[in-house]
Amino acid sequence: MLVLASQSPRRSEILRQAGIPFTVRPVEVDETPLAGESPRAYVERLALAKALAAPAGPQETVLAADTTVTIDGALLGKPADAADARRMLALLSGRRHDVLTGICLRKGDSVISDCATTAVWFQVLSSEEIDEYVVSGEPDGKAGAYAIQGLASKFVERIEGCYFNVMGLPVALVYRHLARLG
């Protein structure tokens, strides 16, 4: 049985759509970035911490993940408030950014960690578009202050990489590693 160490409704939705049975056991870890930590190291560290924190039986496989958005070397996590969401969206406007999701699978003493990166290009956003989107509430709790599968879909000009990674779980990468664990 797969144990999802996350309360993310998007991760649950992705696993359900892929036909991968699972149970949810969310965990809390400190998500404060370490000084000088790269975006990849950050998401991989958090995924590992979550996987190790989740209780699991000997026949269970734990899946943990963490997603961040990065632009110009800066991490854009979940916005603190509406003003922070506006700042993030203005930074993404008309530019390319990367979405990184670190994943970790743990079964017994076996641990597999990996990271997926997807490049996303936003069209230029007006201040009115940003305000309207922020007022919708959708940026709340979303890395980079947007949800590609929701209202922000109209801002995305193109992507290179896994769409599901931008939603929060690179399901093909997870599936490949699950097969390795057996």
Listed in order, strand segments (DSSP E) in 14-168 are 22-24, 61-71, 74-76, 96-107, 110-122, 156-160
Nearest to 78 by CA among 13, 4, 138: 138
In total, the chain counts a number of residues equal to 182
Contacts of 118 (CB under 8 A, 6+ apart): 98, 99, 159, 160, 161, 162, 163, 165, 166, 170
To the query of whether residue 66 is one of the catalytic residues in this protein, the response is yes
CA distance 104 to 133: 32
From the list 30, 66, 81, 98, the catalytic residue is: 66
Nearest to 10 by CA among 125, 135, 126, 99: 99
Residues belonging to the active site: 66
